[in-house]
């Protein structure tokens, strides 16, 4: 039996969505939180304990949605383009709200609420953008923004008296001071304010744009890898990612496909590498030497590196750790 809710709330666990949740819950409204997980972190077996803990503090039931190929296809050709880096914020917002709208209808909810603030983000939260989002998602009159509600036209739940408009806010602009003051007043835990998606970050965005332009066969699994490690182009046919720590080792191993080559120092614990593309024997040796360069074997004259596939194919090669200048020359 499907549980019914008054409304849905797009919940990131950040400051804005936390305050929006509290504003509506304090009116006695029943809400279902919807939390989206970017493809970089989806399908890795994560339990999402941190976001559940924030939701539990607010007594907010939560539905986790791990994103995949639909998100990737949207990023490859965003209708409204990118922001400063490779962030398709407007397309992303529309995409996610369309998914949430289906859940809204399934749960007989009357509205979807967000933590958006008028003028806070230049790509997606200008007033004209908010109107466009309403129209493109088919949620006109049912998309409630509690932090800026008094600056916007009343929504259907406000008009019908389900939501008390006088108890909502009229905040605008990029400053988080009103939200921080509200959170302190009510003792609300939250993640750091003004956090951003990986695609808003310069290094990750440049990495994505270089790779998708260079490789016609760039896939969802390639896209997921941009969140991890050090990236290198060995030649036009193959590329290498070397993890920076043990959590990245685990992520890379889970993302690896049956066709990928994996590199791991045989005698000294250290970062793994994942090779993708067509590797000649010379390229295998080069990749192995680069993996050796980033572990404690870097100061040794040579190191043994295991080269294997998840299918079971395996061999050990002995290499001299690569020259750091050469590594940097290949780095994306």
Q: What is the pLDDT of residues 168-209, one digit of tens each?
A: 999 999 899 999 999 999 999 887 765 568 898 888 899 899
Which pLDDT value is given to residue 302? 94
Structural domains of the chain ordered from first start: 7-186 (3.40.50.620), 228-330 (no CATH)
Contact 110, 258 (CB under 8 A): no
Calpha distance 183→250 (Å, rounded): 35
Q: Please, is 103 exposed, middle or buried when counting C-beta atoms within 10 Å of its C-beta (0-12, 13-18, 19+)?
A: middle
Per-residue pLDDT, 195 = 59
For 130, how many CA atoms within 13 A lie in the half-sphere containing its CB? 24
31-51 CB burial, b ≥16 within 10 A, e <16? bbbbbbbbbbebbeeeeeeeb
Nearest Cα neighbor of 26 from 68, 74, 65, 58 is: 58
For residue 194, the model assigns a pLDDT of 57
How confident is the model at residue 107, as a pLDDT? 95
Q: Specify the pLDDT at position 122.
A: 74
> What Å distances lie between residue 78 and 94, 152, 309, CA to CA?
11, 27, 35
> For residue 320, what are its two tokens?
């001299």
Residue 1: its pLDDT value, please?
63
pLDDT in tens, 61-101: 999 999 999 999 999 999 999 988 899 999 999 999 999 99
Write out residues in the chain with pLDDT < 50, as ranges: none
End-to-end CA distance of the chain: 50
């Amino acid at each position: 039996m499907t549980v019914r809710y008054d409304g849905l709330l797009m919940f990131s666990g950040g400051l804005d969505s936390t305050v929006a949740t509290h504003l509506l819950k304090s009116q006695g409204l029943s809400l279902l939180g919807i939390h989206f997980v970017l493809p970089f972190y989806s399908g890795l077996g994560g339990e999402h304990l941190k976001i559940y803990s924030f939701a539990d503090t607010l007594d907010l039931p939560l539905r986790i949605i791990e994103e995949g190929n639909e998100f990737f296809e949207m990023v490859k050709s965003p209708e409204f383009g990118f922001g400063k880096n490779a962030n398709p914020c407007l397309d992303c917002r529309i995409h996610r709200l369309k998914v949430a709208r289906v859940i809204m209808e399934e749960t007989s909810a009357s509205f979807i609420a967000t933590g958006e603030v008028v003028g806070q983000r230049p790509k997606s939260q200008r007033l004209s953008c908010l109107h466009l989002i309403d129209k493109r998602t088919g949620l006109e009159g049912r998309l409630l923004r509690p932090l800026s509600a008094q600056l916007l036209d009343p929504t259907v739940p406000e008009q019908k008296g389900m939501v008390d408009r006088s108890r909502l806010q009229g905040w605008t602009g990029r400053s988080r001071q009103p939200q921080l003051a509200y959170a302190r007043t009510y003792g609300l835990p939250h993640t750091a304010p003004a956090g951003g998606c990986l695609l808003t970050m310069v290094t990750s965005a440049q990495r994505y744009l270089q790779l998708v332009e260079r490789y016609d066969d760039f896939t969802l699994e390639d896209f997921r890898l941009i969140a991890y490690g050090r990236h290198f182009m060995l030649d036009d046919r193959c590329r290498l990612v070397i993890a920076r720590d043990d959590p990245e080792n685990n992520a890379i191993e889970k993302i690896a496909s049956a066709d990928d080559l994996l590199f791991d120092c045989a005698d000294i614990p250290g970062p793994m590498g994942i090779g993708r593309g067509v590797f000649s024997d010379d390229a295998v040796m080069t990749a192995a030497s680069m993996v050796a360069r980033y572990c404690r074997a870097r100061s040794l004259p040579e190191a043994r590196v295991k080269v294997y596939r998840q299918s079971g194919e395996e061999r050990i090669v002995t290499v001299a750790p690569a020259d750091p200048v050469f590594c940097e020359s290949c780095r994306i």
